[in-house]
Chains A and B, each alone.
Chain A
Amino acid sequence: MSELEVLDTDVSPLSRVEFSADGRVEYSDGRLRCLYPSEADTTEYVVAVFNVEGETVELPDGAVVLSISEGVVVAAVPSDAYGVSDE
């Protein structure tokens, strides 16, 4: 027997959520449900929307795709992918 963590929450673009991608992730109509081992390391994600350009889309490393529809990809992006360099 192993203990599993359950995340069940409404999300929208820029929502912050924390879960482990080492489990099951479901997303539908703005509802995110995740099930992952309690002992797994979690990551803080930000829900983001990406447009598909032609037939490709670029996602940051570590992004978890939540849905694909009509040229738009919704993904949970590790929060450390955000930020602006000071250059």
Chain B
Amino acid sequence: MTDLHPESVEAARERGGAADPERPDSIGDTLNKDKLGYGEGEPLVGESYESYPSRAELSNPDRGEFLQELLSHPLVDGLDTAVEELTGAGDTATLRKWLSTVEAATEAHSLDVDTLLANGEDQGGEDTLTSLLGYEPPTDVVHRDNPVLIADLYTLGLSVSEIADTLTPRVEGSVSEGHVRDTLKTVGLLEGRTREEQAEAFEDKDSRIGGTTLDFSEGGDSNGLTVNAEDFA
């Protein structure tokens, strides 16, 4: 659970939303490993994305084992997710070509796609949140507005952006860095005003400085504004 010792809280505030430089290496390893998507975290196969084959290179007979390993990975649940890992392309036409190539490559290598994908599922990929906490929290406490969960991740040593990235796949709607920062300010682990407080302060300030001021102090039959013609001279 969240450590609220005065020294810990002070250290958390001093981080200002950045990652704890002294956190255990395992936290960084967990955050960086096994993310689906080309260029996301560590590659699912091999040591670097530079070693991934181009679409044409998938035709090389030596790429069979790479393809087999990719399809067996727990995070790969279909040929479309395999393509997601192989290319950073986002347009439909290019993705369709990739999918067609991957299909043809699996046929050339006589790979049993269904079995390989099922093997991946059996291995059960543990998600990042569970790995970080060391347990699977109840579903009803995993939501974007749970300050305890966000505070817990922050005191584990995660940065604001890492918390947003960790929670987004697990909750309804996206979790912005601003939301995480606001929540940490609300519970006192970050200093400063939340965005809502800043907006309220701005509105208060605006009404004092920029608003129209009516002066009813001087009498007269009309209660209208007093205008000095010299002001328009």
A residues at B contact (CB < 8 Å): 13-16, 46-51, 60, 72, 77, 79, 81-84
Q: Which 8 A-B pairs have the closest CB atoms?
A: A13-B59, A14-B104, A48-B59, A49-B56, A84-B64, A82-B108, A81-B61, A14-B59
Q: How far is the CB of B105 from the nearest CB of chain A, in Å?
A: 6
Number of chain B interface residues as a range = 10 to 19
B residues at A contact (CB < 8 Å): 55-61, 64-65, 67-68, 101, 104-105, 108-111
Report whether A82 and B104 are in contact in the complex, using a CB–CB cutoff of 8 Å: no
Give complex CA distance A59, B125 in Å: 37
Known contacts: A14-B104, A84-B65, A84-B68. The answer to whether A49 contacts B109 by CB under 8 A is: no
Report whether A14 and B111 are in contact in the complex, using a CB–CB cutoff of 8 Å: no
Give complex CA distance A76, B207 in Å: 77
Report whether A83 and B110 are in contact in the complex, using a CB–CB cutoff of 8 Å: yes
The interface residues of chain A lying within 8 Å CB-to-CB of B68 are 84
Report whether B56 and A82 are in contact in the complex, using a CB–CB cutoff of 8 Å: no
Give complex CA distance A46, B108 in Å: 8
Set B55, B61, B105, B110: member contacting A77, Cβ < 8 A: B61
The interface residues of chain B lying within 8 Å CB-to-CB of A46 are 59, 61, 108
Set B64, B108, B110: member contacting A14, Cβ < 8 A: B108
